[in-house]
Amino acid sequence: MDKSDQDSQDSFICLEHHFLIAMPSLRGSEFADSLIYLCKHTPDGAMGLRVNHCLDVTMRELFLHLQLPSDGAAADRLLLAGGPVRSEWGFVLHPCSGRRWQSTLDVAPGVALTASRDIIEALATGDDAPQHSLVALGYAGWGAGQLEEELRDNVWLTVAAEADLLFDVPLEDRARLVAAQIGVDLAKLSDCVGHA
């Protein structure tokens, strides 16, 4: 490892359990107006889910595709467009509970990410399902150093996450309320950026 690689690792700041708010410079891109919840962030890269854009696909359609019961309470909810990477993969963000699923990552106290069929089966039947959940297809991903470079270029605002902003706030209000946490009015953001 050369000195510049060591310096980057020494100055690494982990942003797991943070929101990324897309700046106006991303208008016209895949991530325009996006609010990303970062689930994993290491010097090797980052992974998150867009939590404010829906697909035109209901949970019922997913349940039917997986040959699961499709008349439970979650059936009419829309799936989230989690991001452009692996859009055929499903991810469920949910509060941590006593129940352990086959493939779960504890992101932060109170928030877990599960990517296994057993949680979808529970959502389909309602049996032992998480009380709150966000189900997304696809994810947003960054390789080593990519997210850090985008942050230096002022592509994203970062805000420490709170579980209630994920699970208790309506989808259309999430980005605005997350930005308000740091005193930012999204309607007044300019696409001109600078560096302090």
What is the pLDDT at residue 2? 52
Residue 196 has pLDDT above 90, yes or no: no
Residue 129 lies in a domain: yes
Residue 195 lies in a domain: no
**Inter-residue long-range contacts of 52-59, CB under 8 Å, 24+ positions, other chains counted:** 52/171, 52/172, 52/174, 52/175, 53/80, 53/81, 54/78, 54/79, 54/80, 54/81, 54/171, 55/79, 55/80, 55/81, 55/137, 57/137, 59/123, 59/124, 59/135
Tell me what the mean pLDDT of segment 76-93 comes to: 95
Residue 120 lies in a domain: yes
Residue 181 lies in a domain: yes
Q: Which of 178, 87, 93, 77 is nearest to 134 (CA)?
A: 93
Residue 9 lies in a domain: no
CATH code of 139's domain: 3.40.1740.10
Residue 154 lies in a domain: yes
Model pTM score: 0.90
Percent of the chain scoring above 70 in pLDDT: 91
Residue 7 lies in a domain: no
Structure tokens at 127: 């049996």
What is the pLDDT at residue 97? 79
Residue 196 lies in a domain: no
How many separate domains does the chain show? 1
Tell me what the mean pLDDT of segment 129-145 comes to: 95
Give the domain range for residue 78: 15-188
